[in-house]
Amino acid sequence: MSDRLRPFVLPATFGAALILLWQALVVIFGYPKVILPAPSDIWAVLLDELPTIWQQTVPTVRDTLAGFAIATVFGVGLAALLSFSRLLRDAIYPLVIVIQLVPKIAWTPLFIVWVGIGWQSRLTVAAFIAFFPIFIAMMAGLESTDRSLVRLCRGLTASPWRTFWLVRLPASVPYLFAGLKIAITLAVIGVIVAEFISSSEGLGFLILKAAALLRTDLILAAIAVLCVVGLVCYGAVHAGELAVRRWQGE
């Protein structure tokens, strides 16, 4: 097996084996669908309810991507701003850490009060949850820049902005994408949490509705779609990382 195919073939094979084992156990022991539906039942309801599931997937994906984009702008922007001023860094960085220590779910009711029920609260929660890993990763990347290169730029009378753009920002790219990969998955979680608390649309709302009807098969079908959404979003960020590295000549 080639090294390129190995990361895809092995997880796919293991996952298929788990699904087959799941199917066999349900058939052998005859579990009721309300407790544990078989993968074949989940696939059947996924096909039957595809229009409804797709309709609820669109707002979840929309709010996830929007929240992730906002978190990226604020996370990268704030980290870049603090990198120019030690005074600002010492004043703001500890406050960001303190806010991060509070469980995110505790902020959700406040966001609902502040911005209202609907897509605004979902967007706010997603951006809030995704912000921290991007900010921390960007800060770590900017601080990891080779000091000798920074001193060389200063010796050549390069402006702080030019030093940032040509030296510090490229050096922080690997750290940034590590934070982006974590943030995109957290953005999905943030949207679902907000949909659980207050929403009339989205996959989180569909899961709650299915739970009220004891539709375990529909719940697992929605969760399967969420897994696909998360994988696609993560893959898009990874593809962006590969493109940037290729552009940098790596």
Q: How many Å apart are CA 242 and CA 176, to the nearest integer?
A: 13
Hey, is 163 helix, strand or coil?
helix
Which pLDDT band holds residue 68 (cuts at 50, 70, 90)?
A: very high
249: pLDDT strictly greater than 80? no
Q: Give 169-223 pLDDT, tens digit per residue.
A: 788 888 999 999 999 999 999 899 888 887 778 899 999 999 888 899 999 999 9
Helix boundaries (H) for 30-117 = 39-48, 50-84, 86-101, 104-115
Taken in order 85, 90, 91, 93, the sign of the CA dihedral is positive
The mean-pLDDT minimum among 1-10, 32-41, 104-113, 221-230 falls in: 1-10
Q: Give pLDDT, residue 74.
A: 94
Which pLDDT band holds residue 56 (cuts at 50, 70, 90)?
A: very high
How is residue 145 annotated by DSSP? S
Q: Give pLDDT, residue 179.
A: 93
> Other CB atoms closer than 10 Å to residue 193's CB: what's the count?
17
Residue spans of the domains in the chain: they are 58-247
Q: Give 132-168 pLDDT, tens digit per residue.
A: 999 999 988 888 776 666 666 666 666 677 777 777 7
Contact in structure between 46 and 221 (CB atoms under 8 Å): yes
Which pLDDT band holds residue 3 (cuts at 50, 70, 90)?
A: low
Q: Give pLDDT, residue 154.
A: 67
Q: Give 15-54 pLDDT, tens digit per residue.
A: 888 989 988 888 888 888 888 888 998 999 999 999 999 9
Q: Which residues contact 131 (CB under 8 A, 6 or more apart)?
A: 71, 74, 75, 183
Q: Give pLDDT, residue 222.
A: 93
Architecture of domain 58-247: Orthogonal Bundle (1.10)
131: pLDDT strictly greater than 90? yes
User: Tokens at residue 93, please?
Assistant: 């960085």
Q: How many Å apart are CA 5 and CA 140, to the nearest integer?
A: 32
Q: Give 71-99 pLDDT, tens digit per residue.
A: 999 999 999 888 888 888 888 888 888 88
Q: How many Å apart are CA 70 and CA 45, to the nearest integer?
A: 35
% pLDDT > 70, the chain: 90
